[in-house]
């Protein structure tokens, strides 16, 4: 069943929350989980809400290099697992007790299968007839004009893929191949929310982007929005400007160009 969980809500013991193990561990990177374990040990392990930790301490606690620790901190902050505030020359770290995770039916299915795996008999592997594939390839080539190979068909992105791309672009994720598993999960969750609310990839890429850099105080400081900030602020962006959407959209495009590229509106 789908629902929300609070993996870091205060338990009545110092052990790691079951929800953290069941729902966070499968989706975060190994480095991120090491970092979370260190923070859990230094906070809940000592009955504290937060603890001041230097990079050197985190390197020692996790056994990771400084660059890996920095990447793990970035992932945990972006996902919303932890909170951090400046404390002199270092930072104070705490678990985000208000963090809510949309449970995945896929994860629950895996857990269910693990519980019954001993009862499942292995399926015998069948040998594939590769000759059929070769015959089909020859027919395709023969059927093409002048004996040329058939042109590859262009596959249009699905609604989910288009929204994922638009959200990633507006949030500054330029290389999707470099996304961490946690960041990809956050984008997937929020793109579903945006589509369910009736928004389109074009609205995110054009209208929201223009509004963010012109009207939001963080955008005016040239800060890119996070996926969570997009979802929380998008209702502020008017869908129908002055009763004429096309004219309003064109005006917003010019505003965005002026803001982003210094062009004349």
Alpha-carbon gap, residue 163 to 229, rounded angstroms: 16
Mean pLDDT of 36-50: 91
Contact 140, 149 (CB under 8 A): yes
Alpha-carbon gap, residue 106 to 99, rounded angstroms: 20
**Please, which pLDDT band fits residue 60 given cuts at 50, 70 and 90?**
very high
**Please, which pLDDT band fits residue 251 given cuts at 50, 70 and 90?**
low
If asked whether residues 245 and 174 sit together in one domain, one would say yes
Residue 112 pLDDT exceeds 70: no
By percentage, how much of the chain surpasses pLDDT 90? 34
If asked whether residues 91 and 169 sit together in one domain, one would say no
With b for 16 or more beta-carbon neighbours within 10 A and e for fewer, the 230-247 pattern comes to bbebbeebeeebeeeeee
Alpha-carbon gap, residue 171 to 164, rounded angstroms: 11
Instruction: Say how many domains are in the chain.
Output: 2
CATH of the domain at 62: 1.10.10.10
Residue 20 pLDDT exceeds 80: yes
Evaluate whether residue 122 is within a structural domain: no
- The pLDDT value given to residue 157: 85
**Please, which pLDDT band fits residue 120 given cuts at 50, 70 and 90?**
very low
Boundary (domain end) residue, out of 84, 101, 118: 101
Domain range spanning residue 203? 159-261
Contact 81, 36 (CB under 8 A): yes
If asked whether residues 94 and 165 sit together in one domain, one would say no
Closest of 245, 246, 208, 207 to residue 227, by C-alpha: 208
Evaluate whether residue 90 is within a structural domain: yes
- Structure confidence by residue, pLDDT tens digits, 180-194: 888 889 999 999 999
Evaluate whether residue 192 is within a structural domain: yes
If asked whether residues 255 and 169 sit together in one domain, one would say yes
Mean pLDDT of 235-242: 66
Contact 229, 183 (CB under 8 A): no
Mean pLDDT of 237-241: 65
- The pLDDT value given to residue 92: 95
Evaluate whether residue 118 is within a structural domain: no
Mean pLDDT of 225-240: 85
Boundary (domain end) residue, out of 59, 83, 101: 101
- The pair of three-digit structure tokens given for residue 53, joined into one six-digit string: 């930790």
């Amino acid at each position: 069943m789908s629902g929300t969980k609070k993996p870091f809500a205060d338990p009545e013991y110092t052990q790691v929350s079951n929800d953290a193990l069941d729902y966070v561990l499968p989706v975060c990177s190994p480095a991120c989980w090491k970092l979370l374990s260190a923070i859990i040990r230094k906070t809940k392990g000592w009955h504290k809400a937060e603890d001041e930790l230097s990079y050197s301490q985190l390197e020692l606690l996790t056994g990771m290099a400084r660059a890996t620790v920095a990447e793990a901190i970035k992932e945990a902050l972006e996902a919303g697992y932890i909170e951090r505030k400046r404390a002199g020359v270092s930072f104070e770290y705490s678990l985000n007790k208000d963090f809510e995770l949309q449970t995945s039916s896929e994860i629950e299915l895996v857990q269910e299968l693990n519980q019954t795996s001993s009862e499942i008999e292995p399926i015998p592997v069948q040998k594939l007839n590769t000759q059929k594939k070769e015959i089909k390839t020859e027919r395709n080539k023969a059927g093409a004009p002048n004996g040329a190979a058939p042109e590859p068909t262009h596959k249009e992105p699905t609604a989910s893929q288009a929204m994922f791309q638009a959200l990633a672009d507006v949030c500054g994720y330029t290389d999707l191949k470099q996304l961490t598993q946690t960041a990809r999960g956050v984008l997937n969750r929020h793109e579903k929310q945006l589509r369910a609310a009736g928004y389109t990839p074009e609205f995110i890429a054009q209208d929201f982007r223009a509004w963010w850099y012109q009207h939001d105080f963080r955008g005016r400081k040239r800060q890119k929005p996070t996926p969570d900030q997009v979802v929380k602020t998008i209702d502020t962006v008017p869908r129908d400007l002055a009763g004429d959407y096309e004219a309003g959209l064109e005006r917003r495009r010019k505003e965005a160009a002026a803001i982003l590229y210094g062009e004349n509106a």
